[in-house]
Amino acid sequence: MARYRRWIAIAGAMVVAVIAAALVSQSAGQQGAGPVVPAAAGGDARRFAIATEPLGDRRVGAMVVDAETMRLLVYAFDFNKLQLKLVAVRDISQDVRLSHWNNAKPWPEDIRQTIEAGETTLDKRPDAGP
């Protein structure tokens, strides 16, 4: 039974990925953008990145990143209802420019300065030892 569920999840994930790519293609075409060919249909494979994840026994989530428009699309497919639902769309063009959002120390600059100084640790307390 577990093997059956795994194959259903894999097949569902593939279906979600293809449907998601087709939906992205269709929606971009309706917005007046140039023709969009999903990577699954032989287009530029670098434009779309698709990842899937099981969301329990009967649901699969798919995340699609459109590198050309810098949008993240999140879909959920429910096997019980045979339903594909668009959960969220987000423009991530500004997100990728952030370096400190929701991060904990050490900051990226701290790490870079430590490496450039030839040090092997960020801990500069006097009692930290050699």
Could you tell me where the DSSP H helices lie in the chain?
Answer: 2-30, 108-116
The predicted pLDDT at position 124 comes to 60
Angle (CA) 60 62 67, round 5°: 175
The predicted pLDDT at position 128 comes to 47
Angle (CA) 97 99 105, round 5°: 175
The two tokens of residue 20 are 């998601």
Within a domain: 49: yes
Within a domain: 108: no
Within a domain: 52: yes
Within a domain: 58: yes
User: What's the full length of the chain, in residues?
Assistant: 130
> pLDDT, tens digit, for every residue of 17-29?
555 554 444 444 4
The predicted pLDDT at position 26 comes to 44
Within a domain: 124: no
Within a domain: 78: yes
The predicted pLDDT at position 108 comes to 78
Q: Which domain holds residue 38?
A: 2-94
DSSP 122: S
- Chunked mean pLDDT (size 10), the chain, 130 residues: 56 56 47 40 73 91 93 94 94 85 78 86 56
- Total domains in the fold of the chain: 1
The predicted pLDDT at position 60 comes to 93
Within a domain: 118: no
Within a domain: 47: yes
Residue 56: φ, ψ to 5°: 105, -165
